[in-house]
Chain A
Amino acid sequence: MTRFGMLVFVVAVAAGVTGPFLLRPFGLYLISMWAVLTIAAIGLNLTLGYAGQVSLAQGAFVGIGAYTAALLTQAGCPFVIAFVAAGSLCFIIGWILGYPALRVQHHYLAFVTLAFTTLVFLVLRNEEWLTGGIYGINGIQRPNVFGWSTAKAINFYFFSFGVLAALAFATWWMLRSPWGRAFVALRENPIRAASLGVDTRRYTLMAFAIGSSLGGMSGALYAPLVQFIEPNSFSLGLSFSLLLMVIIGGSGYFFGPFVGTLIAVLLPEWLRVTEGYYLIVYAAAVMAMMAFCPAGLLGLIERSARALGGRRRPETTQALVGGADS
């Protein structure tokens, strides 16, 4: 990481810690939502940005995580265990789902995950005995974590922010390990990675399963944040939004999901002046961005920084060669 990047990072963390004290309840809700969805977006970024697979199931994994956590905590299970269960369940489902899809051609995962999201929606809607059907699950309590109550909005924000920080650090650490570098290798040049003995299929599957698991953990936080979950929240729309978040921030950049989610969460507020037309503006902006800068906002920043400064290497090759200056 460059010195400038470090500075931005420190400022961002400082803003994340001090900001909430200045916000009204709705603002707190929004930034908590940002922290929760960023976890899911980080997971999707692993699948999309690092393993190069389009997944349209991240919203479904958030849903599975949310329902798992809500049902377990309402049955009296401590939140920490429910959280771990949500993550593990999504890891297993992700593995089972990715196994057939990744055996065949590249774009098939997009279709299989699209189908999966619809199936999950149908199960959530139809299996009333378990999920409450279209009425969803009401009155989900904010958890007590090791004796600390997160019932107050600001406490819940700090809890989500803490989980986000821990999971982000774990992902960062994983991507820097020899094992994680294989993810980058298989995105940059799958054939070369394969010829160097990286089992590309296995690593792609692993990236997808870990990404799904992060989706589940995000869902486990989503349930107590919103306190009411219903099947429609986790339909294809959420998966599309998460995909757009990762792309807008910059897929394959570690901080891409943070930026993309921030924009996706705040944009509806900023575009309130456009009233009902916000989604049209959003969709048009995404199309324009794809046409001019498919690498996303961070890609755009990097490109302009390179145009200004001249000789900064792109982050991807840095990650590959070990990043002498990182």
Chain B
Amino acid sequence: MATFIQLLVSGLATGAIYALIAVGFTLVWQTSQTINFAQGEFVMLPAFFVLAATNAGAPFWLATFIGIALSVLVLGILFKFIVVDPMLKYGVLPLVISTIALSLFLKEGVKDFYSSQAQPFPALVPAIDIHVFEAVISTQSLAVLAVAVITVVALNLLLNGTRVGRQMQATAQNVTLARILGVPVRRMVLYTFLINAVLVAIASILVSPIYLAKFTNGETLGMAAFIAAIIGGFNQVRGAVLGGVVLGVLDNLSAAYISSQYRGAFPLIILVAVILLRPQGLLGRVEERSV
């Protein structure tokens, strides 16, 4: 039982990180039909911004802000204007290819210009073990959970509670109608890219103390984000949150109780099962297919 609780909590923490990545992924997909195959590398990169800032002498809290700001600039604004915008007119496929190339570019860039070695990354809180019902729970897991929950709640308030958020939702649901109603669609699309950049930066800062900052981190994280988005429902923010959490917990439990060698396989099997049985995802709506 104690092991189970431990696995559950650490699974929830990993799942919360996956959820943040998946939410950004679905937001960008919804408003601009961009399937970002570089999403995993987007999570890998901000940690190196933070490390570079720390190396330049900034204290950790300042380095974190610099990391998020650089991430907004590079992964939000530059990505939108240099990579996505010139390609939207060609449809989905060239953009998919381009983001695949981008993921390679970012990975190799970090490897060649920073380091190919895993870098230690400072944790948010000192690691202290708390004993709850014989189970040992790390304060780090709790901190990750807390930050992730706060982020998701804040995002929800933004999307549902403010005028800008509702305009973004309108853009996601029906671009033409939103434009007719006077929503500044282009600006809304840009906002989702910026939100994605912030989300991946937060995820990066949360995940790097656990996995260490390494240029290959994006491979597993990107895959987790796709799977979480599909499991939960490609067109729902809460779907992506649910998908991420489910994935994190199942990943941990299956690795402990079934087979650790095939740890990577269980999420994929769930993915295929969801695509077969409920292609719109657990919480997703069936999209009307425009022909």
Contact = CB atoms under 8 A, between A and B. Distances in A.
Task: Please determine whether chains A and B interact with each other in the same assembly.
Answer: yes
Contact of A111 (B90, B100, B264, B271): B271
A115 B268 contact: yes
Given A105-B289, A244-B100, A291-B98, A118 B268 contact: yes
Given A276-B112, A279-B104, A283-B101, A290 B275 contact: no
A75 interface: no
Given A119-B265, A122-B262, 6 more contacts: A101-B275, A108-B275, A108-B279, A116-B268, A283-B102, A286-B101
Contact of A236 (B219, B227, B265): B219
Given A105-B279, A280-B108, A294 B271 contact: no
A290 B87 contact: yes
A130 to B, nearest CB: 14
Interface string B81-93: 0010011001011
B275 A112 contact: yes
B112 A294 contact: no
Interface string B271-291: 110011001000000010101
A119 B97 contact: no
A122 B226 contact: no
Q: Main SS of chain B's interface residues?
A: helix
A240 B223 CA distance: 14
A290 B95 contact: yes
Contacts of A105: 279, 287, 289
Nearest to A294: B94
A206 interface: no
B215 to A, nearest CB: 12
Interface in B230-282: 230, 261-262, 264-265, 268, 271-272, 275-276, 279
Contacts of B223: 114-115, 118
A110 interface: yes
Contacts of A122: 261-262, 264-265
A134 B289 CA distance: 44
Contact of A284 (B90, B105, B227, B287): B105
Given A107-B35, A107-B92, A118-B223, A290 B97 contact: yes
Interface residues of B, number: 38
B66 interface: no
B109 interface: yes
Interface residues on chain A, size class: 35 or more
Given A101-B275, A118-B264, A119-B265, A287 B108 contact: no
Nearest to A286: B101
B142 interface: no
A17 interface: no
Given A110-B96, A114-B223, A236-B219, A290 B101 contact: yes
B112 A280 contact: yes
B276 A100 contact: yes
Nearest to A48: B93
A115 B102 CA distance: 20
Interface of A: 52, 54, 100-101, 103-105, 107-108, 110-112, 114-116, 118-119, 122, 126, 191, 236, 240, 243-244, 247, 276-277, 279-280, 282-284, 286-287, 290-292, 294
A291 B85 CA distance: 9
A235 to B, nearest CB: 9
B272 to A, nearest CB: 6
Closest 6 CB pairs of A and B: A283-B105, A294-B94, A286-B101, A115-B268, A104-B279, A290-B98
Contacts of A110: 35, 96
Contacts of A247: 94, 97
A286 B100 CA distance: 9
Given A108-B275, A290-B101, A54 B230 contact: no
Contact of B101 (A104, A111, A244): A244
Contacts of A107: 35, 92, 96
Contact of B268 (A101, A119, A276, A294): A119
18 contacts: A54-B96, A103-B279, A111-B230, A115-B223, A115-B272, A118-B265, A118-B268, A122-B265, A126-B262, A191-B291, A243-B97, A244-B100, A283-B102, A283-B104, A283-B105, A283-B108, A291-B86, A292-B86
A290 B265 contact: no
Contacts of A291: 83, 86-87, 98
Contacts of A240: 100, 104
Interface centre among B86, B94, B262 (most CB of A within 10 A): B94
Contacts of B97: 243-244, 247, 286, 290, 294
A283 B287 CA distance: 34
A115 B271 contact: yes
Given A100-B275, A105-B279, A112-B272, A290 B94 contact: yes
B36 to A, nearest CB: 12
A280 B230 contact: no
Given A126-B261, A290-B87, A279 B268 contact: no
A141 B35 CA distance: 43
B11 to A, nearest CB: 20
A116 B95 CA distance: 22
Contacts of A119: 264-265, 268
Contacts of A244: 97, 100-101
